[in-house]
Amino acid sequence: MPELPEVETIVRGLRRLLPGRRILDVRLGKTDFIDDPVQLGESLPGRRIESISRYGKFIAFHLACCASNASAAVAEVAGDAASDCASKTSRVHLLVHLGMTGQLMVRGAAESAPPHTHVTFVLDDGRELRYTDVRRFGRMLIVRDSEIDAFRDRLGVEPLEITEVEFARRIGGRHARIKALLLDQHVLRGMGNIYVDESLWRARIHPARCGDALSREQLGALRRAVRHVLETAIRLRGSSISDYVDAEGFPGRFQLRHRVYQREGKPCARCGAKIRRIIVAGRSSHFCPQCQPTPRAPKRGRKNARAKKQKR
């Protein structure tokens, strides 16, 4: 399941392979994960890939306009704003979210495409950029140049860039479980189940703790843990659990460093206690019952257990 480190690894791979290439054609298979398949098919051919970036778990392909100056001028005089994308007189951005099982790979056109290949971008150098997604939990959409900043800003803050003050405000100021907050892409963008569990273990915080119940020290430790876990995972090119491979088809190695994720019943690397798995915020959550103590007020008896939580 691609999260921030996997997506970052894929983006770095794609950056070596794609900028400067022109998209000649788009071939579509199943399209129920594409916001507007017709627009996707019509507005991309002819465009050149300028650059590639990452917004949380989204991969953003920045595509140049492809009209000549003359025809661009004609289109502008015609005031054809509605078909702005299709007329190709301005940049657009192709955004790809890999969901659970999405893969983007650059392959020679002669190589046969794997099953569940739903979008093929034919490139001008005899290769193809292929999107494969078994479960189709991914998403693909075109965003106009005038709307890309707003799209990005609707997402949360990059966890590798967030300041201590901003982290305390976004996490410490919320009365929701820390697990839910870290998974919420409008709070921080890019964290998923693996890296949330690993970060909480490292910071010794139970996943069911509330954001506003954390001390300043704990918030600081959590921010550092998130950074450390993500940076280490990027260095090891992500975690390969089931079918993740990067843009060149290679698996990552961070799964070898997992301390809690999918290690239920195995000993904690710090204290030896057995790792447990519970459901928090609807997600399976792995933690060490000894290093990450259960929050004080259990869900059951919330009658008069609230008065205490003001202190910190």
Residues that bind DNA (CB under 7 A): 1, 3, 32, 56-57, 97, 99-100, 115-116, 134-137, 174-177, 180, 183, 185, 192-194, 210, 281-284, 299
**Min. distance of Cβ 291 from DNA in angstroms?**
20
Which of 283, 289, 295, 309 is an active site residue? 283
Please identify, using beta-carbon distances, which residue of 13 and 207 lies nearer to DNA. Answer: 207
User: Of 47 and 286, which CB lies nearer to DNA in the complex structure?
Assistant: 286
Shorter beta-carbon distance to DNA: residue 88 or 259: 259
DSSP for 67-94, written as a single string: S-HHHHHHHHHHT--TTHHHHT-S-EEE
HEC string for 236-280 = CCCCCCCCCCCCCCCCCCHHHHCCCCCCCCCECCCCCCECEEEEE
How far from the centroid of its chain's Cα atoms is residue 181's Cα?
15
By the 8 A CB rule, do 160 and 167 touch? no
The answer to whether residue 283 is catalytic is yes
Tokens 């502008």 -> residue: 76
Q: What distance in Å separates the CA atoms of residue 8 and residue 237, rounded to the nearest whole number? A: 8
3 labelled catalytic:
yes
**Among 259, 198, 192, residue whose Cα is nearest residue 56:** 192
Catalytic residue among 54, 57, 88, 152: 57
| Count of beta carbons in the 10 Å neighbourhood of residue 301 | 8
In the bound state with DNA, the residue whose beta carbon lies nearer, of 123 and 157, is: 157
Residue 264 is a catalytic residue: no
C-alpha to C-alpha distance for 132 and 136, rounded to whole angstroms: 9
Q: How far apart are CA 246 and CA 103, in angstroms?
A: 8
Q: Of 68 and 242, which has the nearer Cβ to DNA? A: 242
Torsion, Cα of 95, 98, 102, 106 (10° steps): 40
Give CB contacts under 8 A, 24+ apart, made by 64-72: 64/91, 65/89, 65/90, 65/91, 66/22
- Rounded CA gap, 30 and 241, in Å? 25
Q: What are the start-end ranges of the E strands in the chain? A: 23-28, 49-55, 58-63, 92-97, 102-108, 117-123, 127-133, 139-144, 276-280, 283-287
In the complex with DNA, the residue whose CB is nearer, 302 or 308, is 302
Known catalytic residues are 2-3, 57, 283
